[in-house]
A and B are shown apart, each in its own frame.
Chain A
Amino acid sequence: MTSLSGSGKRHGPRVDLGLTPVGAEANPLGAEVNLGITPAGEELDMSRRKLLRGLGLAGVAAAGGALGLVAYRDEAQAAPVEGASGQDHQWCRVVDLRACKGERKCVSACQERHGLPPEQTWMRTLSWHDETGEEFFMPVMCQMCQNPPCLNVCPVSATTKTEQGVILVDQDLCIGSRACMAACPYEARYFNWNAPAPTNRMPEPSPNTPEFPTNQIGTVGKCVLCADRIPYSNDLPACVEACPRGAHFIGDLVTDIAVNGQSTVKLSTFLREGNAVRFKEELGTNPRCYYIPGNGQTVGGPLEGVQ
């Protein structure tokens, strides 16, 4: 039973993290991480929290976005960006399959950063063989659908879409019905089946926000696009940073820029020239993850899975 109570009380994490003074006993971050929130920011967040309470169902999803990426800037180098909203950024992913050679460094980097058990791979690389025996690879993670089936079916609104298009799970709301796992066409969601849930989070202890969730027993986790890192830190999402070949890009549809840690591209041109496609387009999920096909892969799902 102790494992169940490990979640602690609900802090309203997106907000309270910014409000709790560093060193206060309730601060889950301890002294190691400078939150970099100014007093003016606190006031802003306070009024936002009041607003949030009043907004009700629809408001949680909508307002969560603004709070999500603005109020949560945990890493010290965070650059102040005024009033970032859905009009400023719309995050997306680009995976250049031409470059992927199946080293799975993105997978291990993600596992390590989020302290995931081996069977829980928020990022995974599928591989399969064609008729000639040649092996092909395809990294798959949460596709950040703009019409997310997982969000619609969640009975407690634990899955939210931020204003900037990132799909996140509030670990303190999730009741573990797994309706989202049933709904996700990309099998991008994982359940924390067994106790004890992994705890080796970085930074430690985990702030437990939707952008950087703790693993709790009995809840659902998924790729968070390292939303705590974009765009205000030195670091790119763990998978982007880890890929030695620059196959992973993080991009912004509004400013039309994508980076892979090695080069920067004009997103729209890059997608157009690479004949980018989206995974399972026919399902109407409107994903925010683009694949640049190459080396003859078919991006409709492999016929034989050899994970």
Chain B
Amino acid sequence: MTSVFESTAPENSQPDVVEAAMRPFRPASRQFWIAIALLTLVVVIGIAAWIYQLQNGMGVAGYTDRSFWSIYISDVVAIIGVSYGGAVVSAILLLTGASWRAPLVRLSEGMALVTVMVGALLVIPHLGRPDRLINMVLHANTASPVFWDMVAIIIYTFATLVFFLLPLVPDTATLLDSHPDELGRGRRFLFRFISRGWVGSTEQRRVLHSAMIVVAIVIIPLAVSVHSVLAWAFALVSRPGWHESIWAPYFVIAALYSGVALVILVAAGFRRGYHLEAFITTMHFVRLGFIMAALGAVYVYLTFADLLPSAYVGEAGPNEVIYGTLFGGVAVWFWLFVVAGTILPIVLIALPWTRNIWGIVIAAVLVVIAMWIKRLIMVIETSGYSRLTNSFGDLFQFTWVSAAVTLSAVAAIPLLLMLLFRVVPLLSIAEVQHLTGDTDDPVAEVSSPGKASHGRAAGTAGAVILLMVALGAVGATQAQPAYAASDPAVLRAGAADPTVNVTAVADGLENTLTATVTSSGKPVEGALVSFYESTTMFAPGDNLVPLGAVQTDATGTAEVTYEAAVTGPRTISATYLPTVLGDPVTGTATLDVTEAVSHYAPPPPRALASVGRTLVFSLFGLVIIVFIILIAQVVRVRRACRPALNESVEHVSLT
């Protein structure tokens, strides 16, 4: 049986990666369990706070109508954001062939998986009615950015899971072979399931590597899409401060920046906890630090680019919000972010004296906290700005509930990571062995099929980005013509003992109403006659709608023509007020309107309405394609293992 696994057998080379990977599987120290207990306690308190919030309403978390979105949505953005750190280290560095990443791969992928799940779960306290979450599927509105948030998060989580699981196949096989007895029953069962059929043949390693390349290519646009759609949940409304075209890339860079920072922290933590100094060296921290500093510089640039156009133009709403950021309600936090979140970290990494593990870890801590603050002020400030009064209401105030829920999510990340790496190896054994020259070079064996899929998936990635960008398009506005001024008022006259006779004649659209005013048999000239039509709208009886007032001519006749808005029979009346204090004299007639034209015309559809519909269909197609690509990679690896599986079964039965 050993012969089958020959290529992955442990060597006597410098640091023993298999030995290091086994460390978390041995009985843990007391500190480990104390840490687990404390973190669990924080998580449990947070869940209790959420239940309290469920019972008493979101008001107990500090929410008001002027902070309708605040801490929880910022937590979602910040925590899903850091998961992008995993994608950087794993996917981008994999594609660029940066092999130094090898010891960090598993840690950062695990972090990506844990943070995206914790971040997605934080949507639940954000909702007023989490019990109806299923409506997102049953009554989905595909025009809503929040719907696409859900789709993007689900597919990204799936891709992260695939990306995490595929490289476990060779590693679990190695550990099963080298330390079968130390693994324990649970892990042995899991590892056998994951690695079944893996013999480490050249063909298997070629397929696995190729599949990983495809997943890496897919996961980058997926991560971009998640953070873009999160940004569009804000940017697709017309609120000042949020309605910014730059927000999607701004969120993506923010996610990369804080994500790399968290990779540094996770690497530092596990390096210390499991004594991985031989694998994760100062070099790793310095390189990650450089990446973080570069992303930080981009973020500073985008922050400036976000603020400048609105500040320069001076439109009331955006100006007030920017003023509030720089000098107003959240200015303290903004400048704290500028100093602690951008200047200090970059300086710490730039200066050779502080460019060591401690300096870089401190920089990363600053970045993670400051980026959370930045997201919070971006959310609460605009939310606090009333667009009716053009002024700020009371900004969001923390309560113990929202603080406890947030801390619980923060604690859940290390907790889940510590537990996760009690179950699966925390080092990518195969990659580290390859790095230290323990095995043959799998990359060199990647043949043209792998490269072809490279190109195919890159095309898919491009299409994802293009379509996502197109989603940002909004419809054109429609102008309403101004109303022209109209007829002047008419004079009025008086006479005694008059009568009013009305005739109403419909002639096509033109309805002619004629009133003849007579007094003692003689026509009254200059009498002001008001015409009305009756309606049953808004009242149980007849409701009189004025149609105009006209003075009678020499024959005592007043005439108006009008176009009716609706057809049907109605009563027409003409009223004449003989003297100021006298009773009005009214004559009526019935009119059957046969032709009518309403002033109402339905507004034309928005110019870009059909584009949105097409986009939704394309996106659904794309989502399906991405799922198929991801599942296909898993299937590829499984199929590559299948012939060996039969073979190894025979081996077992023979021995």
Query: Which residues does A use to contact B, with CB under 8 Å?
Result: 1-4, 57, 60, 77, 79, 86, 90, 119-120, 124, 126, 140, 146-147, 149, 152-158, 173-179, 181-183, 185-187, 190-195, 216-220, 230-231, 234, 236, 250, 252-257, 259, 264-269, 271-276, 278, 281-284, 286, 301-307
| Residues of B with C-beta under 8 A to A218 | 57-58, 127-129
**Complex: how many Å from CA A253 to CA B599?**
7
Q: Is the CB of A182 within 8 A of B478?
A: no
Q: Is the CB of A179 within 8 A of B144?
A: yes
Q: Does B298 contact A (CB under 8 A)?
A: no
Interface stretch of the complex, out of B64-72, B170-178, B421-429, B631-639? B64-72
Q: Is the CB of B64 within 8 A of A155?
A: no
Q: Given the interface contacts A175-B127, A264-B545, A267-B599, does A284 sit within 8 Å of B475 by beta carbon? A: yes
Q: Does B136 contact A (CB under 8 A)?
A: yes
| Residues of A with C-beta under 8 A to B27 | none
Q: Is the CB of A187 within 8 A of B388?
A: yes
Q: Is the CB of A301 within 8 A of B390?
A: yes
| Residues of A with C-beta under 8 A to B389 | 126, 301-302, 304-307
Q: Is the CB of B239 within 8 A of A265?
A: no
Q: List 12 A-B contacts (CB under 8 A).
A: A77-B540, A173-B132, A175-B129, A176-B129, A177-B128, A192-B57, A195-B56, A218-B127, A220-B128, A236-B538, A259-B539, A276-B483
Query: Which residues does B use to contact A, with CB under 8 Å?
Result: 51, 54-60, 63-65, 68-69, 126-133, 135-136, 138-147, 150, 233-234, 236-239, 242, 316, 383, 386-391, 475-480, 482-486, 535-540, 543-547, 565-566, 598-600, 602-603, 606
| Residues of B with C-beta under 8 A to A259 | 537-539, 543
User: How close is B226's CB to chain A, nearest CB, in angstroms?
Assistant: 16
Q: Which 10 A-B pairs have the closest CB atoms?
A: A176-B128, A305-B389, A284-B477, A218-B128, A193-B59, A256-B565, A253-B600, A194-B59, A155-B146, A272-B483
Q: Is the CB of A181 within 8 A of B128?
A: no
Most buried by A among B65, B142, B233: B65
Residue of B130, B145, B480, B538 touching A278 (CB-CB under 8 A): B480
| Residues of A with C-beta under 8 A to B599 | 253, 256, 267-268
| Residues of B with C-beta under 8 A to A264 | 535, 538-539, 543-546
Residue of B130, B141, B484, B537 touching A156 (CB-CB under 8 A): B141
**Complex: how many Å from CA A305 to CA B385?**
11
User: How close is B15's CB to chain A, nearest CB, in angstroms?
Assistant: 50
| Residues of A with C-beta under 8 A to B606 | 147, 284
Q: Is the CB of B129 within 8 A of A185?
A: no
Q: Is the CB of B129 within 8 A of A153?
A: no
User: How close is B317's CB to chain A, nearest CB, in angstroms?
Assistant: 9
B234's nearest neighbour on chain A, judged by CB, is A182
**Complex: how many Å from CA A271 to CA B535?**
19
Q: Given the interface contacts A156-B141, A194-B56, A272-B486, does A181 sit within 8 Å of B391 by beta carbon? A: no
- Total of A-B residue pairs, C-beta within 8 Å: 248
Q: Is the CB of B141 within 8 A of A219?
A: no
Q: Is the CB of B540 within 8 A of A177?
A: no
A174's nearest neighbour on chain B, judged by CB, is B129
Q: Is the CB of A177 within 8 A of B127?
A: yes
Q: Is the CB of B387 within 8 A of A257?
A: no
Residue of A181, A193, A272 touching B58 (CB-CB under 8 A): A193
Q: Given the interface contacts A153-B237, A187-B388, A194-B56, does A254 sit within 8 Å of B535 by beta carbon? A: no
Most buried by A among B63, B64, B133, B537: B537
Residue of A175, A234, A265, A302 touching B545 (CB-CB under 8 A): A265
| Residues of B with C-beta under 8 A to A303 | 316, 390
Instruction: Given contacts A174-B128, A281-B479, list 13 more A-B pairs with CB under 8 A.
Output: A86-B602, A153-B144, A156-B140, A186-B387, A191-B128, A193-B57, A217-B128, A231-B538, A255-B598, A256-B600, A264-B545, A283-B477, A284-B476
Q: Is the CB of A175 within 8 A of B546?
A: no
**Complex: how many Å from CA A59 to CA B447?**
52
**Complex: how many Å from CA A1 to CA B126?**
17
Q: Is the CB of A187 within 8 A of B130?
A: no
Q: Is the CB of B387 within 8 A of A185?
A: yes
Q: Is the CB of A272 within 8 A of B237?
A: no
Residue of A152, A187, A252, A269 touching B386 (CB-CB under 8 A): A187
User: How close is A290's CB to chain B, nearest CB, in angstroms?
Assistant: 10
| Residues of B with C-beta under 8 A to A120 | 65
**Complex: how many Å from CA A292 to CA B127?**
39
**Complex: how many Å from CA A80 to CA B126?**
44
| Residues of A with C-beta under 8 A to B535 | 255, 257, 264
Q: Is the CB of A157 within 8 A of B128?
A: no
| Residues of B with C-beta under 8 A to A306 | 389
Q: Is the CB of B135 within 8 A of A156?
A: yes
